[in-house]
Amino acid sequence: MDQAQNGKPILSEGGIVITEWHISASGQRFAWGDLGFVQIAKPSGWLVRVLGKEGQVYQLRVARKGKPAAAAKAIFCTEDLGFVGRIQEAINEVARRRGGRREV
């Protein structure tokens, strides 16, 4: 993961580009300053418990400031748990650099 402060991507992989200023995925681009909610949604519920963890689809979800978390839309999906970890690391790095509030 590139940690340079000069505008290079923190993560650029699999169709996602995360910089200190923007997140892009699936042809959509959002400025971090416009977002009030960013989350990787994990599958849950009784169906996951019955079927197990294999084949789970993780969603990167965002909502603009002023919108409820329930209004978040999925901008990217993957089954690759390792990739999910790298996306989360990049999001955490952006929050650290920008002084954003991180809720778990």
Q: In this predicted model, what pLDDT tens digit does every residue of 38-51 receive, in sequence order?
A: 999 876 666 555 66
Residues 31-79 pLDDT 10s? 999 999 999 987 666 655 566 656 688 999 999 999 998 899 999 999 8
- Assigned domain for 63 exists: yes
- Assigned domain for 2 exists: no
- Assigned domain for 73 exists: yes
- Assigned domain for 54 exists: yes
Question: Does residue 84 register a pLDDT over 50?
Answer: yes
| pTM score, whole prediction | 0.80
Q: What is the DSSP string of 56-98?
A: --EEEEEEETTS-GGG-EEEEEE--HHHHHHHHHHHHHHHHHH
Q: How many structural domains compose the chain?
A: 1
CB 92 within 8 Å of CB 104: no
